[in-house]
Amino acid sequence: MTGPSDTVTELLANLERGESLPARWYTDPSIAERELARIFRKSWIYVGPLAHLANLGDYITGYAGGVPVVVVRGEAGLAGFVNVCRHRRHEVMQGRGNARMMMCGYHAWTYDLGGQLRRAPRSEGAADFRLEDFPLLPIRAEALGPLVFANLDQEALPVQHFFGPVLDIIAQAGIVLDELEPHSRAEGNSPANWKAMLENYLECYHCAVAHPGFSAAIDVRPDQYKYEARDWFSTQTGPVKRSALAGQGKAPPYDVTGAVGESQYHFLWPNLTISINPGFPNLSAELWIPDGPAVTKGFSDRFFGRGASEEFIRTMIAFNEQVAAEDDRLTDSVQRGLMGGLPDRGRFLPNAEPLVLDFQRKIIRAMVGKN
């Protein structure tokens, strides 16, 4: 970092006083570059549902730290690769599906499920060319419950080490993880920095003001709505509103009765959130991918327990989309505020927004600390 006030000690001390990161951290392309290198290329990044990798040859694709990645179910289990052909660097696999071999759609260079190059048309007579010298580059790929992650850092500790306890907390909500089935993926772009969007996710200080439908379903009062920060993830829990269960007061926007009696909003470093709402078992895994400093590409993988009714699925998706639209309006506005650089620092309230403080602490340590 440059600038006299950007030492890690000073940034952290400012933070403990409730003074947020400088505006530039949300607008400067060099900061976004540094985040890719120091955060996204060294962390476990969600790729897709494990259920899509049930059979030999199943594959899913995604991005980790700006790098196209593919995870396949091979003979030896899950395997991850940089999804880029060793020839002209075209992406090898697209979307998701099942394949016996991974064939690049540009010149038909063909890799087996272990990533070895098996065929390169017209390469037979080429001097100094050996198929075995050009395998797909391997990366780490591991499952955590129903979710599959990839990591470009070969030295990383297992994903379980970072996020394992999240599965226990989710089970405590009344969700049987083995019975969750992937339903659909929704994708979208937002004109806001990924950190601004996650900082909004990480507090419910704004819920009563900005989310009337949400606040009719979930008890967002400070003595009921809880925050907990752990080393690599954080959790918000809010009980279902008793009045909503009893059919009193403002009607909640979907049927909140069911096995799940509370909402849980988990954040898994650096850019995955897992949202669970009260009612019939449901979970959505949301990935927030920076695309430069001022755009976030996101997607949400929706899961439901076995036997969810069409009506519940439809109304739950509508509920989540309503909250997301309300949040987007907030974070779009925050980004416009940040772009001008004035005021340079925000002042937040650590008691009301403890997970925002925790998140910024993690960001500072990753960005300014030793490699």
Dihedral angle of Cα 78, 49, 192, 341, to the nearest 10 degrees: -50
* Least distance between Fe ion and beta carbon 219 (Å): 15
Q: From residue 233 to residue 252, what is the string marking binding to Fe ion with x (rule CB under 5 A)?
A: --------------------
Of 327 and 353, the one with the shorter C-beta distance to Fe ion is: 327
* Least distance between Fe ion and beta carbon 359 (Å): 15
What radius of gyration do the chain's Cα atoms show? 22
Of 35 and 327, the one with the shorter C-beta distance to Fe ion is: 327
Q: From residue 289 to residue 328, what is the string marking binding to Fe ion with x (rule CB under 5 A)?
A: --------------------------------------x-
Query: Locate tokens 């933070």: which residue?
Result: 15
Of 286 and 327, the one with the shorter C-beta distance to Fe ion is: 327
Q: From residue 327 to residue 356, what is the string marking binding to Fe ion with x (rule CB under 5 A)?
A: x-----------------------------
* Least distance between Fe ion and beta carbon 121 (Å): 52
* Least distance between Fe ion and beta carbon 67 (Å): 30
Total site size for Fe ion, rule CB under 5 A: 1
* Least distance between Fe ion and beta carbon 227 (Å): 14
Of 99 and 186, the one with the shorter C-beta distance to Fe ion is: 186
Q: Scan residues 87-116 and list those touching Fe ion (CB under 5 A).
A: none
Of 110 and 215, the one with the shorter C-beta distance to Fe ion is: 215
The CB-nearest residue to Fe ion is 327
Pairwise CA distance, residues 5 & 22, whole Å: 10
Of 199 and 327, the one with the shorter C-beta distance to Fe ion is: 327
Q: Which of 261, 296, 297, 293 is nearest to 279 (CA)?
A: 261
* Least distance between Fe ion and beta carbon 327 (Å): 4
* Least distance between Fe ion and beta carbon 200 (Å): 6
* Least distance between Fe ion and beta carbon 345 (Å): 22
Of 262 and 327, the one with the shorter C-beta distance to Fe ion is: 327
Q: What is the 3-state secondary structure (H, E, C) of the chain?
A: CCCCCCCHHHHHHHHHCCECCCHHHHCCHHHHHHHHHHHHCCCCEEEEEHHHHCCCCEEEEEEECCEEEEEEEECCEEEEEECECCCCCCECCCCEEECCCEECCCCCCEECCCCCEEECCCCCCCCCCCHHHCCCCEEEEEEECCEEEEECCCCCCCHHHHHHHHHHHHHHCCCCHHHEEEEEEEEEEECCCHHHHHHHHCCCCCHHHHCHHHHHHECCCCCCCEEEECCCEEEEEEEECHHHHCCCCCCCCCCCCCCECEEEEEEECCCEEEEECCECCEEEEEEEEECCCCCEEEEEEEEEECCCCHHHHHHHHHHHHHHHHHHHHHHHHHHHHHHCCCCCCCECCCCCCHHHHHHHHHHHHHHHCCC
Of 32 and 207, the one with the shorter C-beta distance to Fe ion is: 207
Q: From residue 29 to residue 68, what is the string marking binding to Fe ion with x (rule CB under 5 A)?
A: ----------------------------------------
Of 43 and 273, the one with the shorter C-beta distance to Fe ion is: 273
* Least distance between Fe ion and beta carbon 193 (Å): 16
- Binding stretches for Fe ion (CB under 5 A): 327
